[in-house]
A and B are shown apart, each in its own frame.
Chain A
Amino acid sequence: MAHDLLVDPDALREQVRDKYREVAVDPGGSFHFHTGRGLASRLGYEVGAVDALPDRAVESFAGVGNPFSLRRLAPGEKVVDVGSGAGFDSFIAAGQVGPSGGVAGIDMTAEMLAKSRQTAAALGLGHVQFREGLAEALPVEDAWADVVISNGVINLCADKQAVFAEILRVLRPGGRLQFADIANGRPVPAEALRDIDLWTG
């Protein structure tokens, strides 16, 4: 069903790509959000799981919450990470599901994909793979996933209905969506909602 969008999806996507390209190549740069190990600690990730990861797996992490805080993933589960970035949440998921499970991280930013793939190879994680794609068109077959995770990504998508419909498609019946995102407690003025610059910072 057609519905009005507040901003142009392609234009927003380009801004998001530019922002997160910076986070991939210069994770120590100045951003409006926290990044890296300090952020993971702030969000309550398991210390041992984070400490076990090399810096390159953590330094570009820019999530807004902890998708594993309401439920730990079970061994053997198949997981899709929507907007996997440099792979931090995918690597945490990989540790929880173990080698009998699988993780498919999906991202649209080439620099993030390159970084996550290099890290997975360096860690020897054969059950984690990263694919280029959009949240609104996930390169995943129907009903493949036991769990879909995401962190701070859906708020950056212009067409959230399309994203949720796509997540529903790739989840098996009875599968779970576990994601973290931001929400505002006070209304944002209509003109601000249509200001694309405010969506990314």
Chain B
Amino acid sequence: MLQDSGFTDVVIGEAVDTFSGAKGEDKARAFDVYGYAFMASRPPASPAGHGRR
């Protein structure tokens, strides 16, 4: 979805067991839910005049 939205250079970090020991752990385990860090970039602007005729 990030790339579909126009972001580039998508990086995904390691899974973190966010819900371990919390009340929501059972539901999280049922669907393999973990926390992740994501990083992505807005593409740089085209150089001035790029694409103009």
Contacts and interface: CB of A to CB of B under 8 A. Distances in A.
Interface of B: 1-2, 4-7, 11, 13, 16, 18-24, 27, 30-45
Max chain B Cβ within 10 angstroms of own Cβ: one of A175, A179, A182, A186: A182
Main secondary structure of the interface of B (DSSP, over half): loop
A176 B40 CA distance: 6
Contact of A69 (B1, B6, B37): B37
Given A32-B22, A70-B13, A165-B5, 14 more contacts: A43-B18, A64-B35, A70-B11, A152-B35, A161-B5, A168-B6, A173-B44, A174-B42, A174-B45, A178-B39, A185-B31, A185-B34, A187-B31, A198-B27
A120 to B, nearest CB: 25
Contact of A182 (B1, B5, B35, B42): B35
Contacts of A178: 37-39
A30 B23 contact: yes
B16 A173 contact: no
Interface in A182-198: 182-188, 198
B53 to A, nearest CB: 22
A66 interface: yes
A149 to B, nearest CB: 10
Contact of B23 (A32, A67, A173, A181): A32
B19 to A, nearest CB: 6
